[in-house]
Amino acid sequence: MKLIKVGAAALNQTPMAWDANKANILAAIDAARAEQVSILCLPEMCISGYGCEDAFHSRGTRETAWKILQEVLPATRGMIVSLGLPVLYNNALFNTVCLAADGRILGFPAKRFLAGDGIHYEPRWFKPWPHDSHALLHAGGVDYPLGDVYFDCGDIRIGFEICEDAWVAERPGGTLSLRGVDVILNPSASHFAFGKHEVRKRFVLEGARAFGVTYIYSNLLGNEAGRVIYDGGAIIASGGKMVALGPRFSFADFVLTTGVIDVDLTRMGQARTGSFQPKLDVHPAECVQTSFAFPELEPARSTATPASWETGARLKEEEFARAVALGLFDYMRKSRSEGFVVSISGGADSAAVSCLVAVMVELGLAELGPERFLGKLGHVRELAGKSDGPAAAAREVVRALLTCAYQSTANSSDVTRSAARGVAEAIGARFLELDVDSLVQQYVALAAGGLGRELNWETDDVALQNIQARVRGPSVWLLANVKRALLLSTSNRSEAAVGYATMDGDTCGGLSPIAGIDKAYLRRWLVWMEREGPDGLHPIAALAAVTAQAPTAELRPSGSHQTDEADLMPYELLDAVERAAIRDKQTPVEVFRRMKVEFPQYARGELAVWVERFFRLFCRNQWKRERYAPSFHLDDENLDPKTWCRFPILSGNFDRELAELKAYVAQK
């Protein structure tokens, strides 16, 4: 047996937060050394942060990353550690990993396949490294191997697949296997999306099996740069078997996952495989050799057991709660905000946002304990001193961090008022009730005086609705400013798709945490929160007053019996149309034909009206989506034009395509 202890660390980094990033790296290395880890894989771009965007083109960013690398090197004595950073060579910028061993730089493998789809824009900053190309990087008076290289450290061969390299058809791991590599490291910055972790586990496990190697995957953790949430979740597999699985959505600065591997076992696995034909003519520049002494070890048990919440039937609900909770926590502490303000309406969206803040507090306290959790929020004045006394109760912390304001007009009902208060009190938030109807009437009177006529619901319906929503904006902005808190917008993705939101009204906020979630799913999630709740926490029974209601903006007089679905269409249908039209890029006729099959309960004429309404409203409201506050990316059906779904602000409005739809419906 040739036993080696390996590790992968998930790090909560921040773009260009040099000292904080360095501290996390050093802490992870120290923790790995304490556990006798010999090979440690850290995430992609862990020194600079992955989300530097156009700052990657700054000389200062690259030079500072190099300085931090030099400062970290002494900590790698007695270990082999991968450290990600950008490198400039021949006036081209490359996404590289420095492999350091025993305090020395061995070389810089470069990423071959760049992520340029969805939320990723790597080709804007980096160049892909050509296959089978090798170079020397001259830095600090020394030449270092750069490019398509692997390493022989004390007779253990180590190669790399950097994030996207593992997601392509022709993975570099196949070539590395033929070169006799024993261990493949995958430093990643792989964003969270629903169900994505299962895909990662498959490519790690299959890579370990097909390549006959040990495969070590590390990932970033937390809300690194504002929109993207990283779930961590390190993975170690060897010879087709899981060795260790790291936790996801941790509130810690880093999480170390370790395992003991048997190199002799994977080597013999390759030897027994009839199709394995090793590459024998190795170019001298391909392999970087160095001496390294691995300690003697005893066998260890696998720790490849997922958390209990990952094994249940409601994985998406759990992932949503934990991803947004972690995203909110990091956004608050990294922006130095002192809490959150929510304009709570008594409806589903604002209730969900408020509950997610409470989930953030409860999950964070449960994992870190009061002292560490509150220590990360030392800038919040209302929390000062709480960690010095008895363990802070979650409700105390929620009250210090979350203010909910119900802002009523003449069209508000006792039902929503009671629901809003009930939810705020159930989670422990500070609840304020503000009557803004007099402000609404003043604005209406001003406009009427200027126009020389009275405004009425027959001719001015949308304007009279919108002024109520807009009047609520200044009050909650004022509260947020007074408390130095972050105002959370409560708009969801279904509303964003059709513009069913008032700009500078319910879209007010510095962060829009649920703008990536459709309304139909959000309502199902609230029922789950009402009846079950996240594993280890508790349900919120007060949500029953919210889930029992038909969604309504409450902006028309009560006699109109206004509901969202009457204004738009059934939410389940709206979300299905959105996926077909925007995600799958289908034409109106194709969408209509698909909806006939998926929703046979609706008449053809009715479906045609709704499909046309969606396309018209989607085009008309692109400008609103451009102005939304930053939103969390939670799945691959996002409408955020800055990260995922680009669409022209001005367009032909699908006029020709919708005419074809009308003709198609008329023919049938």
Nearest Cα residue to 320 out of 94, 655, 634: 634
Asked whether residue 451 is assigned to any structural domain, the reply reads no
**Domain final position from 521, 547, 573:** 547
User: Sign of the CA dihedral 544, 550, 555, 558?
Assistant: negative
Nearest Cα residue to 265 out of 237, 302, 238: 238
**Pair 126, 152 in one domain:** yes
Cα 319–chain centre separation: 11
**Pair 302, 312 in one domain:** no
Nearest Cα residue to 323 out of 644, 627, 631: 631
Asked whether residue 175 is assigned to any structural domain, the reply reads yes
Asked whether residue 581 is assigned to any structural domain, the reply reads yes
**Domain final position from 306, 325, 345:** 306
Asked whether residue 357 is assigned to any structural domain, the reply reads yes
Q: Are the CB atoms for 245 and 235 separated by under 8 Å?
A: yes
**Domain final position from 547, 574, 599:** 547
Number of domains, the chain: 3
CATH number of domain containing 631: 3.40.50.620
Q: Are the CB atoms for 79 and 33 separated by under 8 Å?
A: yes
**Pair 646, 543 in one domain:** no
Kindly state the DSSP code that residue 133 receives in the 8-state scheme.
Answer: -
Q: Which residue has the tokens 């990353």?
A: 65
Three-state DSSP state, 77: coil
Asked whether residue 526 is assigned to any structural domain, the reply reads yes
Q: Take residue 349 and report the two structure tokens written for it.
A: 């969206």
User: Quick one: pLDDT at residue 392?
Assistant: 60
**Pair 264, 330 in one domain:** no
What are the 10-residue block averages of pLDDT along the chain, 668 residues in total?
Answer: 96 98 98 98 98 97 98 98 98 98 98 94 97 95 97 97 96 94 98 96 96 97 97 96 97 98 92 77 86 92 90 95 98 98 97 98 96 96 70 86 97 96 98 97 97 96 95 97 98 95 94 96 97 96 96 86 92 97 97 98 97 98 96 90 93 97 92
**Pair 527, 640 in one domain:** no
**Pair 571, 614 in one domain:** yes
Asked whether residue 466 is assigned to any structural domain, the reply reads no
Q: Are the CB atoms for 463 and 318 separated by under 8 Å?
A: no
- For 350-492, strand residue ranges (E) read 402-408, 430-435, 486-488
**Pair 183, 88 in one domain:** yes
**Pair 370, 302 in one domain:** no
292-298-301-306 Cα dihedral, nearest 10 degrees = -30
User: Sign of the CA dihedral 303, 306, 307, 308?
Assistant: negative
**Pair 103, 202 in one domain:** yes
User: Quick one: pLDDT at residue 390?
Assistant: 46
CATH number of domain containing 70: 3.60.110.10
Residue 101, H or E segment: strand 92-101
Interacting residues of 350 by C-beta distance below 8 A, sequence separation 6+: 342, 343, 344, 404, 420, 490
How would you write 517-549 as a 3-class SS string? CCHHHHHHHHHHHHHCCCCCCCCCHHHHHHHCC
Asked whether residue 323 is assigned to any structural domain, the reply reads yes
Tell me the residue range of the domain where 626 lies.
Answer: 561-668
User: Quick one: pLDDT at residue 389?
Assistant: 44
Asked whether residue 517 is assigned to any structural domain, the reply reads yes
Residue 364, H or E segment: helix 348-375
**Pair 73, 130 in one domain:** yes
Angstrom distance (rounded) from CA 602 to CA 595: 9
Kindly state the DSSP code that residue 556 receives in the 8-state scheme.
Answer: S
User: Quick one: pLDDT at residue 449?
Assistant: 97
**Pair 273, 330 in one domain:** no
**Pair 484, 344 in one domain:** yes
Q: How many helices (H) and strands (E) does the chain have?
A: 21, 21
Three-state DSSP state, 61: helix
User: Quick one: pLDDT at residue 387?
Assistant: 53
- Distance between the two ends of the chain, CA-based, in angstroms? 72
Nearest Cα residue to 554 out of 452, 394, 415: 415
Q: Are the CB atoms for 38 and 156 separated by under 8 Å?
A: no
